Structure 1
Amino acid sequence: MTPRRLLAPAAALLVASAVLAGCSSSAAPETAPSIAPSDIPSSPAPEVTPSASAPVGDPTCDTIIPAATAEDFTSLGWSAQMEPFRIGSLELADGIQCKWGDQTIATDRVQVFGWAPIDETDSASAQRELVASGWRSETTSNGIYVTENPDWAIFTDADGYGITYLFGDGWVKLADTRQSLVLVEWPPVA
């Protein structure tokens, strides 16, 4: 049996917990992550609403995504490997990038999430560098999405998006697919 088929029950559990969480909250519902990003059903681009409040504490791998998602990953035996937040040649020292997966084996079956504060100059420079390297840029009401060329992507969501950055006003988010950006919840809403 393939790892994808073994993780299907876990993905179903993640979807069910997200649906239940959405029923008990007045906030917009969120899509739960699947273990294999290519298994995510097609849907419109996620609504990403930046918070006007200042972050409380420093972002961590457990706090930039919903607590329930981090707990679900942990229940699968996954842990997070924290890395510097990088966009091309730019490293954002105050940011965080997390690679969730089974750290005991070599695998490309991981989920990646990141968040960093970024000023307007670095944001423009990073976007230019990515686009010059073949990445695609799309401006929406949520911000500017810059996603890897789908011809290079190891995994894509149902809409064909692989690794994607979302640039907002003073921040940038990262996920292994555009649909997974909805899980990056930093800074926390007060």
Structure 2
Amino acid sequence: MTASRASRLTLPSLLAAAALSLAACSSPEPQATIPPEAGAVPSSPVATPEATASTPALPDPTCENIIGEASFTELEGQGWEYEQEPFLLADEEISAGVMCTWTNPAEPGGNILQFGWAPLTAAEAESTQEALESDGWIREDDGDGAFLTEDPAFALTVDEAGYGITYYFGEGYVQVADTKANLAIVERR
């Protein structure tokens, strides 16, 4: 715009131009919508966040993925090796689970670490817990599940608190370690 033309613009003409510019940016008038007929079904389903949101499925449990990567790397770095076996719970095999026995071949007759994880239904968890308790296992409940640990008088290995082999029953799963303290290494939930 030239200087002479800009000087001819007055305040009312500037306000009118601004109003026209704002009107061009505003949203159009809402249009009336026709309500759907009673009982009409939409032609395509509408997704809701609840219907589409899901937790990614966990991979099948293995000795490589039931403990944290750092723990796995540390054990291997120190020369420990594992043997992967089916998960046994009160003499019942849970085929979808895994039991991992870690040993260090450089230490014959040395320490053994055990970690395990398996999916479990509520009914299976209840019946197994009852069976373990009737065999003398000691129960401790926490806010999210239950620990069942062997009687320390019969334990081959115990942690600093005196716990030997311990199962933890959470919602939909059970995990086990050679001591209650070592349950912290099992990360799969």
Q: 1:56 to 1:133 in 2, by over 3 A?
A: same
State the percentage of identical aligned residues: 36
Aligned pairs for 1:96-107 within 5 A? 96-103=98-105, 106-107=108-109
Q: What is the alpha-carbon root mean square deviation over aligned residues?
A: 1.8
Q: Does 1:73 align with 2:75?
A: yes
Specify the alignment match of 1:61 in structure 2.
63
**Structure index of larger Rg:** 2
* TM-score normalised according to structure 2 size: 0.67
> Is the partner of 1:77 in helix, strand or coil?
coil
Paired residue total: 136
Within 1, Cα distance between the matches of 2:139 and 2:132? 9
Within 2, Cα distance between the matches of 1:97 and 1:73? 16
Deviations 1:68-125 (A, max 9, x none): 1111111121111011111112211100110111257652511111110001111111
2:150 to 124, 148, 160: 148
Q: CA deviation at 1:58?
A: 1.3
Q: CA deviation at 1:154?
A: 1.1
* TM-score normalised according to structure 1 size: 0.67
Within 2, Cα distance between the matches of 1:71 and 1:167? 26
Aligned pairs for 1:6-25 within 5 A? none
Q: 1:141 to 1:177 in 2, by over 3 A?
A: same
Specify the alignment match of 1:10 in structure 2.
none
> Is the partner of 1:129 in helix, strand or coil?
helix
Q: 1:81 to 1:56 in 2, by over 3 A?
A: same
Within 1, Cα distance between the matches of 2:144 and 2:159? 18
Matched residue type, 2:159: D
Deviations 1:137-177 (A, max 9, x none): 11111311000000011111111111000001110011111
Matched residue type, 1:180: N
Within 2, Cα distance between the matches of 1:90 and 1:54? 28
Deviations 1:23-55 (A, max 9, x none): xxxxxxxxxxxxxxxxxxxxxxxxxxxxx9454
Specify the alignment match of 1:36 in structure 2.
none
- Structure with higher RCO (Cα < 8 A, 6+ apart): 1
